[in-house]
Amino acid sequence: MGEFTHFNEQGHAVMVDVSEKSDTVREATAMGRISMSQECFEKVKTGGMKKGDVLGTARIAGIMGAKRTSELIPLCHILNLSKVMIEFEYIEAACEIEACCTAKTVGKTGVEMEALTGVQVALLTIYDMCKAVDKGMCMKDIRLLEKTGGKSGVWKAGQEKDI
């Protein structure tokens, strides 16, 4: 079982010292969904929202969000990201849009938080651009799918060990 790393012996929050860690290629992918009304879903899909290209704007926002993760999450390290990619998929039967964010760097610490932030900011942007049509949208299932690199190596959702 893992231990909490962001607390010192006195229980105070600290930024983890990664100076002794090796630089490795690190990549993480996260995803999440936003559900909406049929009317809203169709308007996004057909480009009928008054604010413009919803997914194009959400893609840029997600990338920007991933790049600014250390400004939003207090104990995150500032990372030099070499890649941030946001992809979307329409889930017709559920009137949902799935967002997937992959972040990559070469460094001493992982990019899980950047991938998760990218997904969440992309979904928040969809909400912002569509709220005039549907204020009841729901963001859900935001989670890490996979991470690679570093001492712990590869981790994939669904392959966790029993505790």
DSSP assignment of 94-155, as one string? Answer: GTEEEEEEEEEEEESS--HHHHHHHHHHHHHHHHHHHTTT-TT-EEEEEEEEEEE-STT--E
Q: Which residues of the chain fall short of a pLDDT of 50?
A: 1, 162-163
pLDDT at position 2 is 58
pLDDT at position 33: 98
pLDDT of residue 124: 98
Report the catalytic residues: 128
pLDDT of residue 9: 67
The answer to whether the beta carbons of residues 75 and 157 sit under 8 Å apart is no
**Measured distance CA(144)–CA(91) in Å, rounded:** 19
β-strand 24-35 against 81-91: which pairing, if any? unpaired
What is residue 153's predicted lDDT score, i.e. its pLDDT? 87
Orientation of helix 112-130 relative to helix 54-67, angle to 10°:
150
Tens digits of per-residue pLDDT, 111-156?
Answer: 999 999 999 999 999 999 999 999 999 999 999 999 999 888 899 9
